[in-house]
């Protein structure tokens, strides 16, 4: 008798797992599962070593990223990734991210309050990296 109960339980939990996997597959394929806003912060944390916490660089050796426009940041990141713009570290790092991830990183830094006024159109984000 116990074997029938165990067998019945296994079939039920197997069906439940299959239903959960089917639901997950539907959510992913319909686009219901999207990158969370905190993904940008998580990805941008990898930039902290050189560009400071939340893009607030200490000193003036590297540009602060906080508060720069998303478009300018994304253009620089894309140029590093493609090799159009070369830098010892950034060229290699940018290649490790998808275009969507670079967009999330740029959006995160653009949303941060700049610690010092950023140049309006002159200068280029990420110079010296």
Q: Say which residue, 87 or 27, is predicted with more confidence.
A: 87
Q: Where are the domains of the chain?
A: 1-34, 35-129
Q: How confident is the model at residue 116 (pLDDT cuts 50, 70, 90)?
A: low
Whether this prediction's pTM lies above 0.75 is answered by: no
pLDDT-based confidence at residue 102 (cuts at 50, 70, 90): very high
| Domain 35-129, classified CATH 1.10.760.10, yes or no | yes
d(CA 116, CA 67): 9
pLDDT digits (tens, 9 = 90+) for 57-67: 988 888 899 99
Residue 91 to residue 79: CA distance in whole angstroms: 8
Predicted confidence (pLDDT) per residue in 41-51, tens digit: 999 999 999 99
Q: Report DSSP letters for 11-52, one per residue.
A: HHHHHHHHHHHHHHHHHHHTT-S---THHHHHHHGGGHHHH-
pLDDT surpassing 80 at residue 128: no
């Amino acid at each position: 008798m116990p074997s029938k109960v165990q067998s019945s339980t296994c079939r039920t939990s197997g069906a439940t797992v299959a239903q959960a996997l089917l639901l997950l597959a539907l959510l992913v394929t319909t686009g219901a599962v999207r990158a969370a806003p905190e993904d940008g912060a998580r990805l941008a944390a990898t930039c902290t070593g050189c560009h400071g916490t939340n893009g607030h660089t200490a000193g003036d050796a590297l540009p602060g990223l906080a508060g720069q426009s998303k478009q300018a940041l994304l253009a620089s990141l894309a140029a590093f990734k493609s090799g159009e713009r070369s830098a010892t570290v950034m060229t290699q790092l940018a290649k490790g991210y998808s275009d969507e991830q670079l967009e999330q990183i740029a959006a995160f830094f653009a949303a941060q309050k700049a610690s010092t006024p950023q140049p309006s159109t002159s200068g280029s984000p990420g110079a010296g990296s």
